[in-house]
Structure 1
Amino acid sequence: MHRRYVTLDLLRGIAAIGVMLFHNCVDVVPSGYLAVDLFFVLSGFVIALSYEDKLRGGLAQSAFFLARFIRLWPMIVVGSVLGLLAGLAHYTAHPGDLWTLGAQFSGSLILLPKLAIAEGDELFPLNTVFWSLFFEVVVNVIYAAWLYSRRAQGLLIAVVIVSAICILLQPEIRMLMLFARALLGFFLGVLVYRMSKKLQWTAVRFGWLFCAAGVVLILAMPTSIRPPGILFLLTDAVFCAIILVAAASDEKMPSKSVGWSQWLGDISYPLYAIHRPLFYFCSLLIVRATHDLAAYNLAAFVASIAIVAASGVVLRSFDQPVRRYLTGLTRPYLKTKGRPEAAFWEA
């Protein structure tokens, strides 16, 4: 079993909370959307940590895809159902086409985006954050089909090419820009993992704290760099440095901080997957009960705390039990050179 980096759990939890506050509280976390880019860099690092040696050692690609399905799908179901309930609640106040709602729910369940999108449209209208899960699956396929076996030089060339594409793309070409962001972050994460294996990085005292503060600072700062591709490239570069320091300094984290850091990492995915539809219901009450921005943000912050608590309940009562069940059910099919291989459902 691969090592679990508790500091990376902490960063992932902070990123999930940052995205939630960006969506829930007006102008409180102006750059919270950049947390998604941190997710992609972390994903590249953790996927390479969990699977690179296994894939090179003979783990079947089908086993990799099955393990990733087990990791992602349970919360996709929960997020889709909650999105459907929010869509039905919206339908009662603003009647529309139920067939469209049904098609959006079906697309959400199987991560099939709305490809023909106009200005302001979402790839997944019932749960808008699912766009990143869609591209997470895409980059996972690219990783298992090609990237894991590439040497460092090939990976570096891929990073340079994607960086150039990201910088040159116009933000109006939205689908390609989102894809470029996912590729750039994920490729850099894999590169950081390989660097961390080959180079001896010195642990930094309180490195975990500096890394956490760095992520908070990035998400809280107003950003106006244009074109946006340069912003994503610079931010990803900083995130890479933060992850290197975090991984090297992981064992320096005080033992009393380990438990809640792991908990934040555990709830990060459920929180990310359910916060949008849950806050829709909260907002119905908040908008009626508040009369100014300060009161709205205070109420939204309280609702956000409740959503974090709800994410913990969903994690323990549904996400983890379902993943464990599916892992046990499919274990005979996860093989490396003829031997059973456990699915890394925590990756």
Structure 2
Amino acid sequence: MIKSIEGVRGLAALLVALYHLKIGSEYFSLIRNGYLFVDLFFVLSGFVICAAYGDAMRSGADLRQFIWRRIGRLFPLLVFSTVVFVLGSNAIVLAKKLAVSAGHAGLLNNPGALEYLVPTAGEILATLTFTHSLGLFDELILNTPSWSISVEFYTYLLFALVCLLLTGAGRIVLLAVLSLAGLIISAWASVNIHDCIAAKGCLSLTYDFGLARSIHSFCLGALAFYSSRILKMNIPAIQITVMFALFLLLTLVDYVSIAAFAFPVAFAALVLSLSKDSGPLADALKPGLFQVLGQRSYSIYLMHMPLLLIFENLTKRVSGLVSSITVLVAYVLVLYVISGWTYRFVEAPMRDWFNRLVVRKPAVAGGAGS
């Protein structure tokens, strides 16, 4: 495990969680444009998955093992967090109904929002098959951040097929072509479908063209891995340059929306600069807190929206710097605790169970490790 990459994964998850909380977004571009750090997740996945499986994907048995391991990694927490989100949403509606019936409607921010969230059969099936963000719906559904889990799963499958079909330079060329195709589709959809130049939010593609966005960034991450094998780098200089470039991009993107398209490339350069796990930035990301955040990053990512069911009500009520900071700190601390629970009792044991199940299957016993 590359500790600095684990640390940056944890930071990315936290920034996405803060983006949805929205406190401080009027002051800090890092929070205001936090949606772009989903692309850092895709880049990191491309790098890590390529490192773990790129040389080990040789047969159909390897492919089956890979798929089962990815399902074991993603599926249990996806289902758990979605169920928690639905139950939490309906618990809040029930509490509102009780408050209204008791004559306390004036205490509610939105007393008219009294409809229960009842997932349709299509939404349930799509979530269970990771297809809920492949253009089947005209909006985000249920635990909305899980859109990226949907598209990432099918990006995994595409990568596995590439590995089975090609090796060496041919694989690298195809990954580059796929990344470029993903960028072209993402740019076209952002500008022509979502009118991002006028409306802002370029590259904020989710339920409709999120797969193209995922393929673009994931393949950049895989290319960063292959580059790390051959490039001799001045690590400190590259890390400082990349951090300066990200600072400029975060400043620029508020005024020039198309600057968002440069972030995946900058993230790939960032991951490449951390690939040797050395340098000033790498050292800053190695302390224990960042490692814990990295370990819990998937839980942080999927559990922050259920938690926001409670905290979004608080954010509408607070005013002033001290109150806002208090709510923000409480949100981060509660999310830290909850993500620890879900990692310990849901994510890790279910992942390990799936891994043991795969190892017990004779047909895939010789495949790659997780």
Common fold by TM > 0.5: yes
- Which of 265, 272, 277 is the equivalent residue of 2:306? 277
Identify which range, 107-116 or 24-33, moves more after superposition. Answer: 107-116
Residues 248-327 of structure 1 aligned to structure 2 (within 5 Å): 248-250=276-278, 257-288=286-317, 290-291=318-319, 295-296=323-324, 298-327=326-355
Q: Is the 8 A contact 1:278 1:307 kept in 2?
A: yes
1:25 maps to 2:4: no
How far, CA to CA, are the matches of 2:171 and 2:56 in structure 1?
A: 16
Q: What per-residue deviation string (whole Å, max 9, x for no partner) do you get for residues 140-187 of structure 1?
A: 111112256342222223333333333333453655532221111011
CA distance 1:142–1:100, change in 2 (3 Å) = same
- Give 1:87's match in structure 2, choosing from 65, 86, 89: 89
Residue equivalent to 1:246: 274
CA distances 1:94-114 after superposition (whole Å, capped 9, x unpaired): 343665467545543443317
The count of residues paired between Structure 1 and Structure 2 equals 330
Distance verdict in 2 for CA 1:95–1:107, change over 3 Å: farther
**Unaligned segments of structure 1, at least 5 residues:** none
Partner residue of 1:223? Answer: 253
Tell me what 2:130 maps to: 111
Q: Distance in 2 between matches of 1:110 and 1:243?
A: 30
Structure 1 vs Structure 2 CA RMSD? 3.2
Q: For the Cα contact (< 8 Å) 1:45–1:192, is it kept in 2?
A: yes
SS in structure 2 of the partner of residue 88 of structure 1: helix
- 1:241 positional shift: 1.1
Offset of residue 80 of structure 1: 1.0
* Alpha-carbon distance change, 219 to 302 in structure 1, aligned in 2, over 3 angstroms: farther
Matched, 1:136 2:155: no
The Cα shift of 1:287 comes to: 3.8
Specify the SS of the correspondent of 1:60.
helix
Q: 2 CA distance for matches of 1:59 and 1:214?
A: 44
Overall identity of the aligned pairs, in %: 24
Shift of 1:37: 0.5
Q: Which residue of 1 aligns with 2:219?
A: 187
CA contact (8 A) 1:16 1:271 kept: yes
Q: Would the aligned equivalents of 2:73 and 2:351 in 1 still touch at CA under 8 Å?
A: yes
- List per-residue Cα deviations over 1:2-49 (Å, max 9, x = no partner): xx1111001101100100011113314111111100001111111100
Q: Is the 8 A contact 2:296 2:340 kept in 1?
A: yes
Q: Distance in 2 between matches of 1:90 and 1:340?
A: 49
1:203 touches 1:245 (CA, 8 Å); kept in 2? yes
Question: Unaligned 5+ residue runs, structure 2?
Answer: 97-112, 195-204
Give, as a single letter, the amino acid of the residue that structure 2 aligns with 1:195.
S
Structure 1 residues 39 and 259: alpha-carbon distance in aligned structure 2, compared to 1, 3 A threshold? same
Taking the aligned partners of 1:84 and 1:329, their CA distance within structure 2 comes to 30
TM-score (norm 1): 0.82
Pairwise CA distance, 1:61:
1.0
CA distance in 1, matches of 2:64, 2:232: 34
Structure-2 separation of matches of 1:215 and 1:274: 31
For 1:334 and 1:218, the matched residues in 2 are separated by: 52
Contact 2:16 2:35 in 1 (8 A): yes
Q: Does 1:96 align with 2:115?
A: yes
Q: Which sits farther off after the overlay, 178-187 or 293-302? A: 293-302
- The within-5 A match list for 1:8-47 is 8-26=5-23, 27=25, 28=28, 29-47=31-49
Which structure's CA Rg is the greater one? 2
Conservation of the 8 A alpha-carbon contact between 1:78 and 1:274? no
Aligned to 1:55, the other structure's residue is in SS state coil
CA contact (8 A) 2:42 2:221 kept: yes
User: Equivalents in 2 of 1:106, 1:165: separation in Å?
Assistant: 27
- Please show how residues 197-236 of structure 1 align to structure 2 within 5 Å: 197-204=229-236, 217=247, 221=251, 223-224=253-254, 228=258, 231-232=260-261, 234-236=262-264
CA deviation string 1:265-323 (max 9, x = no partner): 101111001101112123335545x3457634531332222112211222123221222
Q: Does 1:178 align with 2:197?
A: no
Instruction: Tell me the equivalent position of 1:331.
Output: 359
Q: Which residue of 2 aligns with 1:70?
A: 72
Q: Report the CA distance shift for 1:302/1:206 in structure 2 as closer, same or farther (over 3 A).
A: farther
Q: Which amino acid aligns with 2:14?
A: I
CA distance in structure 2 between the aligned counterparts of 1:212 and 1:85, rounded to whole angstroms: 42
Q: 1:147 to 1:91 in 2, by over 3 A?
A: farther
Q: Are the equivalent residues in 1 in contact too, given 2:88–2:306 (CA < 8 A)?
A: yes
CA deviation map 1:67-121 (0-9, x unaligned):
1011111211221121111231354343436654675455434433174544xx3
2:334 counterpart letter in structure 1: A
Mapped to 1, the partners of 2:278 and 2:270 lie a distance apart of: 12
* Distance in 1 separating the partners of 2:126 and 2:33: 28
* Partners of 1:67 and 1:138 in 2: CA distance: 14
